[in-house]
Structure 1
Amino acid sequence: MQFSVIDYIVIVVYLVGVAFLGLKSSGKQTSNKDYFLGGEGIPWWAVLFSIVATETSTLTFISIPAVAYGGNLTFLQITVGYVIGRIGVALFFLPKYYEGELFTAYTFLEKRFGAGMRNAASSTFMITRLLADGVRLFATAIPLAIILRLGGAFSGWGDLELYILSICVITAITLVYTFFGGIKAVVWMDFVQMIVYIGGALIAVGVLLGNLPAGFELPAEKLQLVNLGFDMSFREFIAQPYTLITALVGGAVFSLASHGTDQLLVQRVLATRNLKSGQKAMIWSGIVAMLQFALFMGIGLLLYMFYEGVSATEIGLATTDEVFAKFIVEQLPVGVSGLIVAALFAAAMSSLSSSLNSLASSTTYDLYKPYFGKNNTEAEDLSMSRKITMGWGIILTASAVFFAILQLQGGERPAIVELGLGIASYTYGGLLGAFLLGMFFSKPDKTDALIGFFCGLIALLFMVQGPIQNLLPGDGLAIAWPLYTLVGSLIVVITGSISAILRGSKHA
């Protein structure tokens, strides 16, 4: 079976509809407050779904089922840590943000440590987003390229051409409503697109349940939820991401950092303009995200049963990451395949639009306004913000194409899911440590904070598998990606506190 004309029509209609609805929902933008914070506020439940949609990329849609297909359900342990971390953000971080009028997460660091710390944190956020979202946007092209090729219409195209086509189409459509509509368009379209991709996933579940082969039973080990890991050596234990302790602690600290210090997600909560609403959106987003991961893991188990447990190579695939894409194209009815591909676009665009808006807001408020736009009118600020949004769209596209070219140079393909999470986790340690220093330690001043911040970033280089660690004598001590943030933030707090003692800092 291959894509029909109806499937392609569904995709085109969806993309045009997204651009139209995004512009329609944005309302009139007259200032940066409207553009980046939604004016007088956005309902908490809409922000809740926007947070979840922002976290969900095409990679989640495709790769999480593959995790269950090739393994078991132990990945879900980390989602419990995500909920714990968000409760911490709601109780300890959000009250600090709502004490004053903050436009970005890093305004807090400026109030506590000065402009230098704010600039360092904001620049780190931008570099992280550029790399992590470049990986994410490129990763979007992988399943879409598979589907388009299997669909038949683009069978003569090379991998790179298909990747670049997917990247450019997604970026162009997303830029239309993000450029003109700002955060309000982003949040409301996140809400719509989450309904689309969850609906697509549920349709796939229905088709799978109706076509399971008779007589095949799911092995008991596929349903394993908890892995204590106590039978491993210490070196193996800290390198394994999905043991219970690592998943819970690492997941909680990762979520504390991502949802408490990353402008990508903090901006959504600030758009509620009310502490109680922000707290509800934050906590419930963790519960909804956990249920969403459970849904996609369930799809993976159903796929395992549908294909009777055979390996990816036995059904003609290079990796298990391609198994859901294969099912979408070959097994779903005419029109439904197009809807699922539209859902893949939805997941990609919800993440990209959020990145573009948060990058533009951080650039505007943290780097442009303090130095170049102090005397601007609101109209001038809004015009510059839109230009910055467009600039980031071009930069992110170039970053994604760069990763595509690297990927196609040959050799073993990297684990894209863990690459993206690893990049984010690496810098989150420095950001979280700086926030913890500012919130809970009264003595450290800006110099102590900067010393701790950069010590945390540098020290982690020697604990992450890569070229830096390879320079060390003997076997390096590699840690699992969920621990990057925990270890990095501890180094920042400890180093910053020791610096304050040695220097005799007396910040009140």
Structure 2
Amino acid sequence: MSITDWIIILLFLGGLIAIGFAFSKKNKDLKDYFLAGKSMPTWLVVFAATGTSISAGTFVGSPELGFNTNLTFIMSCVGAVIGGVVVAALFLPKLYNSRTITIYGYIGDRFGETSKRATSVMFILGQLFTSGSRLFIAAIAVSVIIFGSIHFRFLMYSIVILGVVSTIYTMAGGIKGLLYIDAIQIMLVIGSGLVALIIVFLALHDTMSLSEIFASLQNGMVKAPAQPEYAMAADGTLSGWIPGSKIQLVDPRFRFDVPYNLIGALGAYAFFKVAQFSTDHEFVQRQLTCKSVRKAGVSLVWSQLLAIPIVLIFLLIGTLLYVRYINDPASAVGAGVFTDARDIFPQFICNSIPAGVRGLMVVGLLAAALSSFNSAINAMASSFVSDLYLPIRKSRGKAISGDADQMAASRKMVVLMGVLLTSFAIVTAVMQQTSGLNLVDFATGVMCFSYAGMMGVFITALFTKRGNTRSVIAALVLGLLTVLFLQPYIFGPVTEALFGRELFLAWPWWCPIGVSVSLLVCLSGKPDPKTNPQATI
């Protein structure tokens, strides 16, 4: 990269840290630091929540998905809007009015302290893998741009760089600083995505007419599922790919092994989003900073609506890069994109974007990566401090009661969560390479492990009078084990032994099945008047 690119990147990172420290003096207590005193304007929360949803998985993973498949993933964004509407109407009012620092405090009010701690631990464990995977995906692009390779060693260096920067400004600014930072970052993501899309299109249009580009997309190729090898020969022959339109938006097939057909996107994926928006404090925390429950619901729905055109931009980048390489077999073979397209967009940024503009592209990438990673650090720290650390110290007669002392402890916990997330990003790098899933499916599918158990518990707590500490813990564990059983490397061999052929269940279905199991388990527990003397519907 040029000196101009590096100056742009360093100014961006320095600006983030400066904003974080500018807000450091505005946090007087834990409610300020983790909930912004429930005083933030709706428009700001909309952009910040969109930034949390649009991670490096979108910036790097969506071009990979568009290159390998088509545009059907956009239907999952419609499913996300449906999930947002359901949560805004049914879940948010009770969670917003619970008057707890985290949503897991509501579980404590309902089932007792042990249940709150168990649910909080499940959330933190889930976030370690979920946000760790997002950081790893961002590191792919950073590794390509800085080191010119996605060799494992360079990926590790990139993960550490991103983790350190994000932890510093998250520790300083609290949720107030993060909301403003996330709003700025999502605007950078949108701008850089649009610029990249225009550059890719104009580069193609120099050698191809608009009708030729459209024909290449309409009569394209997509990766065939469950193929052992994907490659392109020097003569342009593809192996492991099948004919398929790259601009297909709707897949009407009634199949459970396809993630983004209509039943998967509008059914299973919408259910997954209900679980995410109601049980994952990283997302709910944004809505809890709003001035009213109505504004909280509005911000959630609008953030998902805003995500649709953003995701479409990055999918289109991938489809246009497909046209570029399918018509240039020699370049495609050299780049190896038909074998592994994980770094296709970062490679384009590094090799085909002019100096100066390249720096802006990298800033957009960093914005996408850090916006989701910093929100995870803050949400995990708030859960750890308010649900685990402070209550445990109080129970042992070592309570931390002063606001200044609680704030100091909270900042230390933010640093701890940053270190843990950075470490787990390295673990997820290994997991993704062995999972066989693309970057988008891996980053989202890994969330189901924690969501399955937690949503069963939350549904029981919010809408029934059933459940107790034992059933909550059992529901959390069995929900996780159910999702583990549905993994291809377990579910496939089991179904082959039982039915004579190996079956595959697309990842969006893991959550509804896991939640069904955990809900039945949690409902099986009778209310315990000792831990929940005032159980309410």
- Per-residue CA shift, 1:43-71, capped at 9, x if unaligned? 11111111111122223102202211222
Secondary structure of 1:103's partner? coil
Q: Which residue is 1:131 aligned to?
A: 129
- In 2 relative to 1, CA 32–445 (structure 1 residues): closer, same or farther, beyond 3 Å? same
Looking at structure 2, the residues matched to 166 and 351 of structure 1 have their Cα atoms a distance apart, in angstroms, of 16
Structure 1 residue 485, shift from structure 2 partner: 1.3
Looking at structure 1, the residues matched to 177 and 23 of structure 2 have their Cα atoms a distance apart, in angstroms, of 6
Q: Which residue is 1:74 aligned to?
A: 72
- In 2 relative to 1, CA 451–26 (structure 1 residues): closer, same or farther, beyond 3 Å? same
Q: What are structure 1's unaligned runs of at least 5 residues?
A: 231-236
Q: Normalising by the residue count of structure 2, what TM-score does the alignment of the two structures yield?
A: 0.85
Q: Which residue is 2:156 aligned to?
A: 164
- In 2 relative to 1, CA 266–499 (structure 1 residues): closer, same or farther, beyond 3 Å? same
- In 2 relative to 1, CA 320–309 (structure 1 residues): closer, same or farther, beyond 3 Å? farther
2:510 to 484, 490, 500: 484
2:249 to 225, 250, 253: 225
Q: Which residue is 1:233 aligned to?
A: none
Q: Which residue is 2:523 aligned to?
A: 497
Q: Which residue is 2:185 aligned to?
A: 193
Matched-pair contact (CA < 8 Å) for 1:328–1:340: yes
2:333 to 283, 306, 314: 314
Matched-pair contact (CA < 8 Å) for 2:46–2:299: yes
Q: Which residue is 1:44 aligned to?
A: 42
Pairing 1:410-421 to 2, within 5 Å after superposition: 415-421=438-444
Matched-pair contact (CA < 8 Å) for 1:66–1:323: yes
Q: Which residue is 1:444 aligned to?
A: 467
Structure 1 residue 406, shift from structure 2 partner: 6.8
Q: Normalising by the residue count of structure 1, what TM-score does the alignment of the two structures yield?
A: 0.89
Matched-pair contact (CA < 8 Å) for 2:491–2:504: no
- In 2 relative to 1, CA 496–394 (structure 1 residues): closer, same or farther, beyond 3 Å? closer
Percent identical across equivalent pairs?
Answer: 31
Q: Which residue is 2:371 aligned to?
A: 350
Secondary structure of 1:222's partner? coil
Looking at structure 1, the residues matched to 457 and 502 of structure 2 have their Cα atoms a distance apart, in angstroms, of 27
Looking at structure 2, the residues matched to 247 and 345 of structure 1 have their Cα atoms a distance apart, in angstroms, of 28
Structure 1 residue 425, shift from structure 2 partner: 1.6
Looking at structure 1, the residues matched to 444 and 192 of structure 2 have their Cα atoms a distance apart, in angstroms, of 25
Structure 1 residue 20, shift from structure 2 partner: 1.3
Q: What are structure 2's unaligned runs of at least 5 residues?
A: 219-244
Q: Which range moves more in the overlay, 304-313 or 272-281?
A: 304-313
- In 2 relative to 1, CA 468–124 (structure 1 residues): closer, same or farther, beyond 3 Å? farther
Pairing 1:217-256 to 2, within 5 Å after superposition: 217-218=213-214, 219-220=217-218, 221-230=245-254, 237-256=255-274
Looking at structure 2, the residues matched to 494 and 392 of structure 1 have their Cα atoms a distance apart, in angstroms, of 33
Q: Which range moves more in the overlay, 385-394 or 365-374?
A: 365-374
Looking at structure 2, the residues matched to 74 and 496 of structure 1 have their Cα atoms a distance apart, in angstroms, of 35
Looking at structure 1, the residues matched to 15 and 356 of structure 2 have their Cα atoms a distance apart, in angstroms, of 17
- Per-residue CA shift, 1:415-467, capped at 9, x if unaligned? 44322222202221111111111122223334333333333222332222235
Q: Which residue is 1:214 aligned to?
A: 208
Looking at structure 2, the residues matched to 310 and 434 of structure 1 have their Cα atoms a distance apart, in angstroms, of 53
Across the two proteins, how many residue pairs are aligned to each other? 489
Structure 1 residue 306, shift from structure 2 partner: 3.7
Pairing 1:278-289 to 2, within 5 Å after superposition: 278-289=296-307
Structure 1 residue 313, shift from structure 2 partner: 4.1
Matched-pair contact (CA < 8 Å) for 1:25–1:188: no
Q: Which range moves more in the overlay, 452-461 or 471-480?
A: 471-480
- Per-residue CA shift, 1:187-235, capped at 9, x if unaligned? 11011111112111111122223222324232322221111213xxxxx
Looking at structure 2, the residues matched to 441 and 135 of structure 1 have their Cα atoms a distance apart, in angstroms, of 35
Pairing 1:174-189 to 2, within 5 Å after superposition: 174-189=166-181
1:270 to 266, 288, 296: 288
- Per-residue CA shift, 1:133-167, capped at 9, x if unaligned? 222212211121112234xxxx7xx8244223222
Matched-pair contact (CA < 8 Å) for 2:452–2:515: yes
Matched-pair contact (CA < 8 Å) for 2:491–2:503: no
| RMSD between superposed Cα atoms in Å | 2.5
Q: Which range moves more in the overlay, 47-56 or 436-445?
A: 436-445
Q: Which residue is 2:228 aligned to?
A: none
Secondary structure of 1:284's partner? helix
- In 2 relative to 1, CA 309–275 (structure 1 residues): closer, same or farther, beyond 3 Å? farther
1:391 to 392, 395, 416: 416
- In 2 relative to 1, CA 420–208 (structure 1 residues): closer, same or farther, beyond 3 Å? closer
Pairing 1:3-18 to 2, within 5 Å after superposition: 3-18=1-16
Structure 1 residue 468, shift from structure 2 partner: 7.8
Kindly provide the amino acid, as one letter, of the partner of residue 283 in structure 1. Answer: V
Looking at structure 1, the residues matched to 342 and 108 of structure 2 have their Cα atoms a distance apart, in angstroms, of 43
Looking at structure 1, the residues matched to 110 and 328 of structure 2 have their Cα atoms a distance apart, in angstroms, of 57
1:142 to 140, 143, 146: 140
- Per-residue CA shift, 1:328-370, capped at 9, x if unaligned? 1222221101110121111111111101100100000110121
- In 2 relative to 1, CA 244–315 (structure 1 residues): closer, same or farther, beyond 3 Å? farther
Kindly provide the amino acid, as one letter, of the partner of residue 427 in structure 1. Answer: S
Matched-pair contact (CA < 8 Å) for 2:178–2:375: yes
Pairing 1:287-302 to 2, within 5 Å after superposition: 287-302=305-320
Q: Which range moves more in the overlay, 64-73 or 276-285?
A: 64-73
Q: Which range moves more in the overlay, 316-325 or 478-487?
A: 316-325
Matched-pair contact (CA < 8 Å) for 2:30–2:403: yes
Pairing 1:16-55 to 2, within 5 Å after superposition: 16-55=14-53
Looking at structure 1, the residues matched to 487 and 429 of structure 2 have their Cα atoms a distance apart, in angstroms, of 23
Matched-pair contact (CA < 8 Å) for 2:448–2:483: no
- Per-residue CA shift, 1:299-331, capped at 9, x if unaligned? 223323344556784352342222212221222
Secondary structure of 2:100's partner? coil
2:487 to 464, 467, 479: 464
Structure 1 residue 479, shift from structure 2 partner: 2.1
- In 2 relative to 1, CA 173–453 (structure 1 residues): closer, same or farther, beyond 3 Å? closer
Kindly provide the amino acid, as one letter, of the partner of residue 208 in structure 2. Answer: A
Looking at structure 2, the residues matched to 307 and 188 of structure 1 have their Cα atoms a distance apart, in angstroms, of 39
Kindly provide the amino acid, as one letter, of the partner of residue 73 in structure 1. Answer: L
Matched-pair contact (CA < 8 Å) for 1:22–1:188: no
Q: Which residue is 2:453 aligned to?
A: 430
Secondary structure of 1:466's partner? helix
